[in-house]
Amino acid sequence: MSISYKRLTGSSSAPWVARLVDLYAVVYAEAPYEEGPEEVEGFRVKLPEDMFRPGFELVIATDDDALLGFAYGWTMPAGTWWSKADREPPPVLKAADKLAIMEWIVQPDRRGQGIGAQLIRWLIDGRSEPWATLASDSRSAARAIYERAGWSGVGKAVLSWGPTMDLLVLPLSSIERKSIAHR
């Protein structure tokens, strides 16, 4: 077993779309998500569009030819925030560019091996944004993992088509780590 990690951007991500969609379907079929073919198709359609957003990066974890997990995100520009948020974030956060992490998933039978932690390390390493942000289903096991890893809740996203999501942030520099801790 030899796990490899690779960072991809834009069009270099395109050959992976079918395999990313397949893994998405496996992971999101689980409780509490219980997504079906319609949601998987939505992801399949949206993913290629996402790959050309400013600052897009995809990190994949593989073992030989098997896809074990992936994480991806792009730059959420300064002055913007999650569109369905129940409130504005702290001003220091809204005023900064942020890495918006859209997916961060690991093959179910490979969880607990540090793959997810490595994926996120690869994704945030070297980013210019001072913050990372993501939306997490509060019912999921991942939500507790994020909290243990230092992510802080700053609001909720109220979705008409799904569960309310916790909006989380992680400071990516020591200056921001101090400012969020003292708010």
Indicate the pTM of the whole model. Answer: 0.90
Domains located in the chain, CATH noted: 3-181 (3.40.630.30)
Tally of CB atoms within 10 A around 144? 11
Instruction: Give 1's pLDDT tier (boundaries 50, 70, 90).
Output: low
Angstrom distances, CA of residue 116 to CA of 47, 70, 105: 20, 8, 7
pLDDT digits (tens, 9 = 90+) for 122-151: 999 999 999 999 999 989 888 988 998 899
pLDDT digits (tens, 9 = 90+) for 10-25: 889 999 999 999 999 9
pLDDT digits (tens, 9 = 90+) for 24-67: 999 999 999 999 999 999 999 999 999 999 999 999 999 998 99
The per-residue pLDDT for 183 is 35
Contacts of 63 (CB under 8 A, 6+ apart): 1, 2, 3, 4
Q: Nearest-CA neighbor of 86 among 143, 139, 158? A: 158
* Residues 34, 52: Cα–Cα separation, whole Å: 28
